[in-house]
Structure formats: C-alpha cells, structure tokens
C-alpha cells in the first residue's frame, strides 16, 4: 500500500444523518432502512453533534420501555455519543485504520471546519486495502 492515501478517496460522501430532536424510533428506522450500524447526528447547518449506534437505540428502547415502563424511548439527543473522534478528508487512511482499531470504532465521521463532509467505516478501509493489495489473478480470492 502506498505511504499516504487520503480518506477523501474512500470516505462515504453522504453518510446517513439524523437530527438530535428525532425520536429513537425514527433513528432506528433510518438505521434499518439504510442497513447501517449507526448514524451521524447533525444540526440544520450540518455541524456534527454526535454519533448514534444501533446499540444506543437498542439500549434506549429496552431500558426505557421494557425495563423502565415508559411509553417512549426518548430522543436521539438523550442517548447519542457526543465525544466523537473525527478525521479530516486529507488524513491518511492507514493512520485512521490504526486509530479505529485501537479505539475499537466501526465508523468515524469526516469533518471539515466543523461540518460533516463524510464518514469512513471499516468497509471503506477494507476496500482501500483491497484496491492496493489485490492479487494479479482474481481467482486467488476463491481459494
């Protein structure tokens, strides 16, 4: 793999987002509809506010509705992660991959001047590795 490959070449340019005042059920619907494991939480100007995972949604629904007896699971703002590690579009994908492994992150928002411009996931990093380390003979993948 080359020494420096920028995130901008592999990041998702339009990650799935939700606003903080949405309900947990609305967020869960987006996660299921788009078949993703989490969403970026943004305001109306696309400033990143946090991240919400499918586990956050499941925890809120089970804890509030089934254990706590409440009739709603709450809002995204109540359960989202607000301390989020972010990257810039020009960051090196190998360094980001190493950081994601160390921090045990499945996804990382890509931010420029506070605005969400993309997201990188393990899947995009695997694609970058495949692109640069692919065998000359594609039949090698089937063995």
CB atoms closer than 10 angstroms to residue 60: 26
C-alpha 141/C-alpha 143 separation (Å) is 6
Nearest to 107 by CA among 50, 32, 46, 43: 50
pLDDT digits (tens, 9 = 90+) for 48-85: 999 999 999 999 999 887 776 777 779 999 999 999 99
Domains of the chain: 7-133 (3.10.580.10)
Residues 12 and 89: their CA atoms lie apart, in Å, by 11
Helix pair angle (54-61, 24-34), 10° resolution: 140
d(CA 125, CA 22): 30
Specify the pLDDT at position 1. 43
| Predicted local distance difference test score (pLDDT) of residue 42 | 97
pTM of the model: 0.83
Distances (CA, A) of 24 to 20, 75, 89, 115: 10, 5, 29, 23
């Amino acid at each position: 793999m080359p020494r420096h490959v920028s995130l901008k070449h592999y990041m998702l340019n339009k990650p799935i987002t939700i606003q903080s005042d949405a309900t947990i059920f609305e967020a869960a619907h987006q996660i299921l509809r788009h078949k993703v494991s989490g969403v970026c939480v943004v305001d109306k100007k696309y400033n990143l506010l946090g991240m919400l995972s499918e586990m956050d949604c499941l925890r809120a629904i089970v804890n509030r509705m089934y254990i706590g007896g409440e009739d709603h699971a709450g809002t995204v703002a109540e359960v989202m992660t607000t301390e989020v590690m972010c990257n810039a579009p020009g960051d090196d994908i190998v360094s980001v991959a190493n950081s994601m492994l160390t921090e045990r992150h499945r996804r990382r928002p890509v931010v420029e001047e506070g605005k969400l411009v993309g997201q990188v996931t393990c899947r995009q990093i695997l694609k970058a590795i495949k692109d640069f380390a692919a065998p000359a003979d594609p039949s090698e993948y089937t063995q």
